[in-house]
Amino acid sequence: DAGVTQSPTHLIKTRGQQVTLRCSPKSGHDTVSWYQQALGQGPQFIFQYYEEEERQRGNFPDRFSGHQFPNYSSELNVNALLLGDSALYLCASRGSRDSFSGANVLTFGAGSRLTVL
């Protein structure tokens, strides 16, 4: 099982450009969440996709958009890049349900490291 895979692993863009990041969830997982992790910070929730629809969204501007495909894979798009968008972008798919709390544990991919110059 390949787990959660993300591409590209690293990329460099300039201000004002647009970027698309891709994620394939773990086999059998149907929900994908995206997180942004700036240097020295914890991951911050961007949005979550289920059944090809955005189900929840964090405090991110409309420049951040996404898509989920019928095979559950997902894309994160960021338009009009700013220097502050430089971060590690993590994709997570819903994993096994915690037997006690009932919460679904997330499995993260290795991330896409975006540098905006």
Interface residues toward another protein, by CB under 8 A: 33, 35, 40-45, 48, 55-56, 58, 90, 94, 98, 100-111
Residue 67 CB, shortest distance to another protein, in Å, is 18
Smaller CB separation from another protein, 16 or 30: 30
**Contact call for residues 48 and 54 (beta carbons, < 8 A):** yes
DSSP strand E in 1-117: where?
A: 5-7, 10-13, 19-24, 31-37, 44-50, 53-57, 64-68, 74-78, 87-97, 104-108, 112-116
Determine contact, residues 30/13, Cβ cutoff 8 Å.
Answer: no
Nearer to another protein, 86 or 108 (CB): 108
Least separation, in Å, of the C-beta of 37 and another protein?
8
Least separation, in Å, of the C-beta of 74 and another protein? 15
Taking the complex as a whole, the smallest distance from the CB of residue 51 to another protein amounts, in Å, to: 13
101: left (phi over 0), alpha (psi -120 to 50) or beta: alpha
Please say which residue, 71 or 103, places its beta carbon nearer to another protein.
Answer: 103
